[in-house]
Structure 1
Amino acid sequence: MDTTRLDLNLLLTLEALLAEQNVTKAAARLNLSQPAVSAQLNRLRDMFDDPLLVPARRGMTPTVKALELLAPLRESLDQLRRTLQSHKDFYPERATLTLAIACTDYIQAAVVMPLVLALRQTAPGVRIAARHYDPAQLEQQLANGDVDIAIITPGSHHAHLRTRHLFNETYVLIGRQGHPTLKNNLTMQDFAQLEHVIVSPSGGSFSTPIDDILAAFGHQRKVVMSAASFFFVPEIVLISDFVALVPRRLLQGQPARLSVVNVPWLTEQFNVSLVWHERSHGHAGHRWLRNLIVELNGHKNSRENAP
């Protein structure tokens, strides 16, 4: 292939086409017209002596050669972007940037919503796309740029990713005010006799690690409902005599009609951290946003060093 005929704009077009697998969507991503992108695709096909993308039932599908090009192409363009970005200052008040955050619904309420409100004041051109947290897909999503940051409880399998601690979270028990048997200083037996709503993000489970703790001491609680999301749990307990264990930060801004009870024998807590890929570590805008998230969650004097 004659590389003297290749320019950066063509590589950017190829990246967009392989990502979108649709000429119209690639054109929108590049802020170009559809005919312009089609013309560039024809030039790319000529230079690589390969169709690169062929018609499929929905959009287009990449050829074998195109798939071979994808990883080195992204790596090269990402390196170029990091190199250019590392020499630029970031001005929040006039920045235009979209950040994709993978997280659970609880983190959307406790962390992402306060972030969005803060951005309206300091960086109105910055947008947040909340993405569903899929543990099995996260590494790939971070690597290819579908997700910029994850806000999760990191595990040992995240050791090769960048991480930064946000806070430790604890559970509290909630029920409606006036609940006939909800009280402070619940024993395990008292706790087990209540009717519980639990959250099962994957759906359908009626057991959590809390039940393993109870079983070890000879107790079994009554779980009457398995919800797919934390969002609706407070509303459920407000109209019933059910109770639920929820992360404490979820209750920010919740109705005063809720009774909140500490469970003295339940000391389990979990760590919430930022997780991101090396590919976005040096981006000035991403670094500013990571620092803002940390500051909004109680670390006012903690700043991430520039790369």
Structure 2
Amino acid sequence: MANIRKVDLNLLVVLDALLEERNVTRAAARLGYTQPTVSGMLMRLRDLFGDPLFVRTQRGLLATPRAQALTIPLKQLLDDSRHLVAHDAFDPVHAEVTFRVSSNDYMQHAVLTPFVKVLRSEARQIRLAIVPPIIEGLSEALARGQIDLAITAAQFAMSDLPSRLLYRDRYVVAVRRQHPLAGDAAMTVERLCEYDHVVVSPTGGSFEGDQAFARLQQRRKVRYSLSTFLLIPEILQTDDLVALVPSRLLRQHNKRLFVRELPFQVPSFEVIAVWHPRNEKDKAHRWLRSRLAEIAKLP
């Protein structure tokens, strides 16, 4: 059995040129080599295959049966090698890849729902798996390939992971339209704390209040703790409840809910895409990140 480690791919390129040109001088000119260089490589090819490969005639080189048998598989091998190292552009129209993206339901609503619309119009063969958010062990999940990308709040991502800003959001007050706070009356922290509040707990089941209220020496009454943001619009319809929610969550609920600005300053927060460094240069992954960023910027 031949030792593949001894095979020089450049020799096979020369053999392919000789099979097509049937002339050492023309093969050398085609490849940018000198004639002596190609003649020397032909000697090495003869040693590699244990066959003369070509014999000289008045009309040029005549391929031996061994060389003729190599013509088609050699073409296939060189084509496969070129495709292997080619820097082809990613074509979403014909791509058949699967992306696994983790995020909470609010970010799914803000970014991934419109992304599915993009896939249906631009990349119908691509599959998308939307999985729950990963807070603990995000780096490991990306490293293992459990997910390809995470959409998360910036504070939950490790600083050593590559990331891209998708959008900034802020918290607002949301109540039903029949709520006493749904009007022109002045909004104060004290009035806000008179009503029972609904919160979303990322880890589930927490009734803890916000540090912002503590700094104001106020304590709100957190009565209901949810595991999902998307339940908030329904819960708020049941009574005079209050929820502090990201503004993008309410885009499709403007007719059902009344939205007010907070009566105190709360910093906005960043939503980012995070991935593993090994996907940094991947064409498909770069397309995914680019399209998500474009979608996130839409009003």
Q: What TM-score do the two structures reach when normalised by structure 2?
A: 0.68
- The letter of the residue matching 1:108 is Q
Between the aligned partners of 2:288 and 2:239, the Cα distance in structure 1 is: 40
Identify the residue that residue 167 of structure 1 maps to in structure 2.
167
What is the SS of the residue equivalent to 2:93?
helix
- The letter of the residue matching 2:98 is T
CA RMSD of aligned residues (A): 2.3
Q: Equivalences for 1:85-164 in 2 at 5 Å?
A: 87-155=87-155, 158-164=158-164
- The letter of the residue matching 2:268 is Q
Q: Equivalences for 1:1-307 in 2 at 5 Å?
A: 84=84, 87-155=87-155, 158-183=158-183, 185-208=186-209, 210=210, 212-254=211-253, 256-298=255-297
Change (3 A) 1:116 1:220: same
**1:254 CA drift (Å):** 2.1
Q: Is the 8 A contact 1:154 1:275 kept in 2?
A: no
Identify the residue that residue 76 of structure 2 maps to in structure 1.
none
Between the aligned partners of 1:222 and 1:86, the Cα distance in structure 2 is: 61
Change (3 A) 1:268 1:227: same
Between the aligned partners of 1:224 and 1:135, the Cα distance in structure 2 is: 25
**1:84 CA drift (Å):** 4.4
Q: Is the 8 A contact 1:100 1:131 kept in 2?
A: yes
Between the aligned partners of 2:108 and 2:157, the Cα distance in structure 1 is: 23
Change (3 A) 1:195 1:289: same
- The letter of the residue matching 1:244 is A
Deviations 1:158-199 (A, max 9, x none): 222111111111011111112124445411111111211011
Deviations 1:204-253 (A, max 9, x none): 21114x2x221222211111111111011100101221111111111122
- The letter of the residue matching 1:187 is T
Q: Is the 8 A contact 1:177 1:259 kept in 2?
A: yes
What is the SS of the residue equivalent to 1:232?
helix
Q: Is the 8 A contact 1:183 1:261 kept in 2?
A: no
**1:86 CA drift (Å):** 6.7
Unaligned runs of 5+ in 1: 5-82, 301-307
Between the aligned partners of 1:277 and 1:143, the Cα distance in structure 2 is: 6
Which stretch shifts more, 154-163 or 269-278?
154-163
- The letter of the residue matching 1:170 is R
Unaligned runs of 5+ in 2: 5-82
Q: Number of paired residues?
A: 218
What is the SS of the residue equivalent to 1:100?
strand
Identify the residue that residue 8 of structure 1 maps to in structure 2.
none
Computing the radius of gyration from Cα coordinates, the structure with the larger value is 2
Q: Is the 8 A contact 1:197 1:224 kept in 2?
A: yes
Which stretch shifts more, 101-110 or 86-95?
86-95
**1:257 CA drift (Å):** 1.7
Q: Is the 8 A contact 2:175 2:181 kept in 1?
A: no
Change (3 A) 1:85 1:259: farther
Q: Is the 8 A contact 1:174 1:259 kept in 2?
A: yes
